[in-house]
Structure 1
Amino acid sequence: MPDASHIDALLDLIDPDRTADPDESAQLVVLGLAEKLGRNACRPTTAGWNLLAERGRPFRTQF
């Protein structure tokens, strides 16, 4: 699963207007980007949130 698919699957987990695909959620759990909550629910791990944050972070020229 490429990064774009990971991001879409993570957005499916956190956006209430989108429906999560159970197969994609299971792949995220295996990769450590999500963790299971009960039988049917998942939520992003810190690694999953970091993957989402990297896409929205602007480029910094000074540190």
Structure 2
Amino acid sequence: MTDAERIEALLDIADPAREADPGRSAKLKVLGLAESVGAAGYRPTTAGWSALAERGRAFRNA
């Protein structure tokens, strides 16, 4: 998974308007960039938010 793919996958789980790919989200979990939430959801970890930097600011408190 390249840096660009990680950013896109993080944006997929951070932005409610985008649909997350469960396979890519699971890879983020293995990398420590996302954590499981509820039945089948994910959210970025602190490391995930740091990787998103300015691109994730709009979704940080959403």
Interval of TM-score (by shorter of Structure 1 and Structure 2): 0.7 to 0.9
TM-score (norm 1): 0.82
Aligned sequence identity (%)? 64
Is residue 2:45 matched to residue 1:52? no
Once residues 40 and 55 of structure 1 are traced to their aligned partners in structure 2, the CA distance between those partners, rounded to angstroms, is: 24
Which ranges of 4 or more aligned residues in structure 1 deviate by more than 3 Å?
none
State the AA in 1 paired with 2:21. Answer: D
Structure 2 residue ranges without an equivalent (≥5): 57-62
CA distance in 2, matches of 1:14, 1:55: 10
Matches within 5 A, 1:1-63: 1-53=1-53
Is there any run of 5+ residues in structure 1 with no aligned partner, and where?
57-63
Flag the 1:11–1:39 CA change in 2: closer, same or farther, 3 A: same
Q: Which has the higher contact order (CA 8 A, sep 6+)?
A: 2
Per-residue deviation, 1:39: 2.4
For the residues of structure 2 that align with 1:33 and 1:16, how far apart are their CA atoms?
18
